[in-house]
Amino acid sequence: MVTTQQRETGMKAQDAINFGKEKGAKMVDFKFCDMVGTWQHVSIPMTELSATTFEDGVAFDGSSIRGWKGIEESDMVLLPDPATATMDPFMQVPTLSLLCDVVLPETLQAYERDPRQIVKKALAYMQSTGIADTAFFGPEAEFFIFDDIRYEQTSSSGFYSIDSVEGTWNTGREEAGGNLGYKARHKEGYFPALPTDSMHDLRTEMCLEMDRLGMTVERHHHEVASGQHEINFRYDSAVNMGDKMMWFKYIVKNVARRHGKTVTFMPKPIFGDNGSGMHMHMSLWKDGKNLFAGNKYAGLSEMALHYIGGVLKHAPALCGFINPTTNSYKRLVPGFEAPIKLAYSFKNRSAAIRIPNSGPNPKAKRLEFRTPDPSANIYLAEAAVLMAGLDGIINKINPGDPLDKDIYGLPPQEAAKIPSIPGTLEESLNALRDKGSFLTKGDVFSQDLLDTWISYKIDKEVRPVQQRPVPYEFHLYYDI
Choose, from 29, 101, 114, 140, the residue flagged as catalytic: 140
DSSP for 114-183, please give it: -HHHHHHHHHHHHHHHTS-SEEEEEEEEEEEEESEEEEEE-SS-EEEEEE-TT-GGGTT---TT------
Question: Cβ neighbours of residue 413 under 8 Å, at least 6 residues apart?
Answer: none
Q: What one-character DSSP code corresponds to residue 459?
A: I
Residue 442 burial (CB < 10 Å; 0-12/13-18/19+)?
Answer: middle
73 is an active site residue: no
> Which DSSP letter does residue 83 get?
G
Out of 29, 88, 223, 243, pick the active-site residue: 223
Q: Which entry of 61, 211, 448, 451 is annotated as an active-site residue?
A: 61
Taking alpha carbons only, the member of 245, 250, 384 closest to residue 323 is 384
Catalytic residue among 337, 349, 404, 433: 349
Whether 230 is catalytic is yes
Identified catalytic residue from 101, 243, 368, 391? 368
Alpha helices, DSSP H, located in 285-347: 302-322, 328-331
**171-206: string of b/e by CB count within 10 Å (b at 16+)?**
eeeeeeeeeeeebbebbebeebeeebbbbbebbebb
Active site residue 349: yes
Among 206, 227, 228, residue whose Cα is nearest residue 219: 206
- Encoded amino acid at 134, one letter: T
- Which is catalytic among the residues 203, 279, 281, 331? 279
Q: Indicate the DSSP class of residue 185.
A: P
Q: Do the beta carbons of residue 274 and residue 336 sit within 8 Å?
A: yes
Catalytic residue among 113, 220, 222, 370: 370
In the annotation, is 200 catalytic?
A: no
Instruction: Assess whether 140 carries a catalytic annotation.
Output: yes
The residue from 142, 373, 382, 426 that is catalytic is 142
| Residue 427 known to be catalytic | no
* Distance from C-alpha of 366 to C-alpha of 451, rounded to nearest angstrom: 32
Residue of 88, 112, 209, 230 with catalytic role: 230
Contact 403, 348 (CB under 8 A): yes
Catalytic: 142? yes
Indicate the angle between helix axes 425-435 and 302-322, nearest 10 degrees.
Answer: 120
Residues designated as active site:
61, 140, 142, 223, 230, 279, 349, 368, 370
